[in-house]
Structure 1
Amino acid sequence: MYKLNYDAAVFADSANSGFGAVIRNSSGEVMAAMIVKGLAIHDSDEAELLACRKAMEFAIDAGFTMLIIEGDSVNAMRGIVSGRENQSALGHVIGDIRHLMGAVEWSSVSCIKRNGNRVAHALAIYAHHVSTNLFWMEEVPLVALDFVNFDAFLIEMKV
């Protein structure tokens, strides 16, 4: 079982957005991470759904088939888990995410508080400073390392 956290950032000073994702095992160890530079986004709901779709594509391409998918947008999570067909302008993105979820052995979706999504958020924000998409396996970039270490500390404290 792996946990996929994703987040999005909208950059008001440019015509770009950023997506970040981290995949961790049950011990909290980083298995994979990504930073993706996105196009201009209209609103945060669109950004979050596009980030989720990109994170799912990344996880599947990397071979992860049992996923707990976590994001910090209530609206995005509601749209994904709703059993109804979504007729909104973002309905096709929600449909893509649901299709990707069907391509894995098992998945669940949950909304978490922002402070539980710090690693993915740091990666999404850092996308503002890159010119190409970046992917890591079994490591995390320095920009998010402090947050990974803090999360590991919290896990140890609970044990």
Structure 2
Amino acid sequence: MNQLSKRELTEIAVTAKAVLQRRNTWIFENKFKSPSQVSKQVHAEMEAIDSWVESGVKQVKHQVVSGSKWSAPPPAFFKANWDAAIDKGSSKVGIGVIVRDSEGLVTASLCSSITLTPDPLLGEAAAALRATTLCAELGLTHIVLEGDALNVVQAVQGVEENWSAVGMVIRDVKSLLSRFQEWSIHHVPRELNVIAHTLAKYALICSEDCILLEDYPPCIQHLF
């Protein structure tokens, strides 16, 4: 322990967690993840940690205060916060989703990047759809969706037909939401959606989708 740097110790911890997750995925989900995928996951998480360290303590303190204002959903409900980040240069959209229960415990987290026209509204709509899909995949029946894209929230709440690219995605969101026993969707300001936003930015540097059950990437650890 004394011979290794803090970064090396961090990499050991990240690697151990990734190996354990690989084992659990194989045992409980019967899904095989190759060692190369584990290596890529560790590399991506270490890049995110390095980026976070370089961002400075001042920014971290501000984010902690903002993230602490998140409000839990009612009992038996789960809340999914989503956000999108745009990389215009590579035409990529990063999607971040964090799902928590009524006690504030993390049920799942998601980082995913897709190649898409760098349209912020379309990116936010795609992120809302991915958040809804994740909740369905988790088998949840009572959900609350929160995002900081007011136009997307209003479109999901509305009844107007829209045949644009964004409108078609919104239509898919509505169709999927109709399968839940109870659901609602709400707009929140960016400062209350900082965890999902951080996950979305992290997704842009991930080499593959990162979906963790009852866990989350180290890039948002300081926000809890």
Any residues of structure 2 matched to 1:57-96 within 5 Å, and which?
57-96=133-172
Following superposition, the deviation at residue 63 of structure 1 comes to: 1.3
Coordinate RMSD, CA, aligned: 1.1
Structure with greater strand percent:
1
Q: Is the 8 A contact 2:110 2:199 kept in 1?
A: yes
Any residues of structure 2 matched to 1:2-81 within 5 Å, and which?
2-81=78-157
Query: In structure 2, what residue type is equivalent to 1:58?
Result: L
Equivalent residue, structure 2, for 1:141? 217
Q: Which has the larger radius of gyration?
A: 2
Distance 2:173 2:135 in 1: 12
Distance 1:90 1:12 in 2: 18
Equivalent residue, structure 1, for 2:203? 127
Following superposition, the deviation at residue 101 of structure 1 comes to: 0.5
Secondary structure in structure 2 of the residue aligned to 1:37 = strand
Q: Which runs of 4+ in 1 moved over 4 A?
A: none
Following superposition, the deviation at residue 109 of structure 1 comes to: 0.5
| 1:118 aligns with one of 194, 207, 212 | 194
Higher relative contact order structure (alpha carbons within 8 Å, sequence separation ≥ 6): 1
Following superposition, the deviation at residue 93 of structure 1 comes to: 0.6
Distance 1:123 1:41 in 2: 20
Query: In structure 2, what residue type is equivalent to 1:81?
Result: Q
- For residues 88-110 of structure 1, give each alpha carbon's deviation from its aligned partner in whole angstroms, at most 9, with x where no partner exists: 33221111000111111110010
Secondary structure in structure 1 of the residue aligned to 2:183 = strand
- For residues 38-57 of structure 1, give each alpha carbon's deviation from its aligned partner in whole angstroms, at most 9, with x where no partner exists: 11333111000000101111
Which runs of 5 or more structure 1 residues have no equivalent in the other structure?
A: 150-159
- For residues 56-76 of structure 1, give each alpha carbon's deviation from its aligned partner in whole angstroms, at most 9, with x where no partner exists: 111110111211100000111
Which runs of 5 or more structure 2 residues have no equivalent in the other structure?
A: 1-76
TM-score, normalization by structure 2: 0.64
- For residues 92-136 of structure 1, give each alpha carbon's deviation from its aligned partner in whole angstroms, at most 9, with x where no partner exists: 111100011111111001000101111111110001111111101
Following superposition, the deviation at residue 12 of structure 1 comes to: 2.4
Aligned length: 148
TM-score, normalization by structure 1: 0.89
Equivalent residue, structure 1, for 2:175? 99
- Fraction of identical pairs, as percent: 30
Distance 2:137 2:165 in 1: 27
Name the stretch that deviates more: 45-54 or 12-21: 12-21
Structure with greater helix percent:
2
Query: In structure 2, what residue type is equivalent to 1:6?
Result: W
Secondary structure in structure 1 of the residue aligned to 2:136 = helix
